[in-house]
Amino acid sequence: MGRTSSARERLLDSACDLIHERGYAAIGVAEICARADVRKGSFYHFFESKQALTAEAVDQHWAQRRAVWTAELSGPDPALARLERLVRAQASAQADGKRAHGRVRGCLFGNLATEVTPADGDLGARVAAVFAEQTDLVASALADAVAEGAVPADLDVAPTARAVLAHLEGMVLFARLADDPGVLDGLWAQTRLLIRAR
Amino acid sequence: MGRTSSARERLLDSACDLIHERGYAAIGVAEICARADVRKGSFYHFFESKQALTAEAVDQHWAQRRAVWTAELSGPDPALARLERLVRAQASAQADGKRAHGRVRGCLFGNLATEVTPADGDLGARVAAVFAEQTDLVASALADAVAEGAVPADLDVAPTARAVLAHLEGMVLFARLADDPGVLDGLWAQTRLLIRAR
């Protein structure tokens, strides 16, 4: 019975890896199955389509990443220290990814966001929901920073949180293109400017 | 003779449109030819491969956009006014794109940057070269702003220019995902923070 659940897990992990490497449109069910060592006939036992698998892969990847995000943003430290931990964790994740996979792979959600179209059903909405959750997490930390007086009281937290994530996504895109995690070295210093940290 | 050059132009325009809409991997030579109303046999008279066509489409699109960038950044106005024009022109381009094509299509270069892999030959380098030119153009305006005292003298212009572009790319990605050019309304106000405008 472990066999069944593990084939499903392997399909999800393979899709996640392949989309990270080459995007959504570039990969097919046959390739996902080959990487997962699952017979193609079994694929449709688990998932209706590549799109359905990808939607679950997005949810699974965010469940894993969300645990990191909430851990970095939690604790007794001042809000800006927690936000700094989160931002530095994003840079570290790209460096770790390069060590593990040989290349800076960028952001699964950002990679999908540039590819999805209305023809991909609710996939765009799933990715948008992840960014909305990320925005809420950052906005919550920024609200704490306002309460602590670490950023100006008139900071518009929701649009500022979105700008922080936009800057992060753009920098990760440049790091992917250059295949160089060092591109992310200035991430926190620049984020401090966007949030008007004192 | 106009016939020949116009088929080539139509192939380039079609590739540019289709990559904007759905990305690089999702489209094929047959679809590009159908959109361009060019027979598939003729395609290889003009281009060696989809990759070769895309490389030229990148260069052509940037040649068109570069003209806009240099126009917005030129003139007798203060550097920050020129930079503001450029940033607002990017937001307008997304709104114009939605009017013309029915959807916010994002940035051709950003869309490619999340998809290209080493298997795509020098395509990644071509896209990186566009971003490098954009960074140089913004950095040059920032250097003028330093000279004018509009931003601090210790502003590190090259990394700041890259951060400005990263933020722009990320916001355009969010606008694409939401299919809403209004996402870009705060672009200039946020850019002012990144460049430490006085």
Report ipTM for this prediction.
Answer: 0.94
Whole-number pLDDT of residue B168? 98
Mean pLDDT of A120-135: 96
- DSSP one-letter code for A184: G
Give the span between the Cα atoms of B73 and B33, in whole angstroms: 37
Whole-number pLDDT of residue B22? 86
Among A105, A114, A127, A135, most B C-beta atoms within 10 A, so best to mutate, is A114
Tokens of B23: 């990305």
Q: Average model confidence (pLDDT) for chain B?
A: 95
Tokens of B73: 């950044």
Residues in chain A with CB shorter than 8 Å from the CB of B120 are none
pLDDT tens string B7-39: 999 999 999 999 998 889 989 999 999 999 999
Among A168, A169, A185, A196, most B C-beta atoms within 10 A, so best to mutate, is A169
Whole-number pLDDT of residue A3? 52
CA distances from B135 to A111, B62, B72, B143, B178 (A): 22, 13, 15, 12, 26
A87 touches B at CB < 8 Å? no
pLDDT tens string B125-135: 999 999 999 99
Q: Tell me yes or no: is domain A55-194 CATH 3.30.230.10.
A: no
Beta strands in chain A (DSSP E): none
CATH class of B51-194: mainly alpha
Q: Average model confidence (pLDDT) for chain A?
A: 95
Give the span between the Cα atoms of A196 and A145, in whole angstroms: 11
B52 touches A at CB < 8 Å? no
Quickly count helices (H) and strands (E) in chain A: 9, 0
Say if the Cβ atoms of A115 and B117 lie within 8 Å.
no
Whole-number pLDDT of residue A177? 95
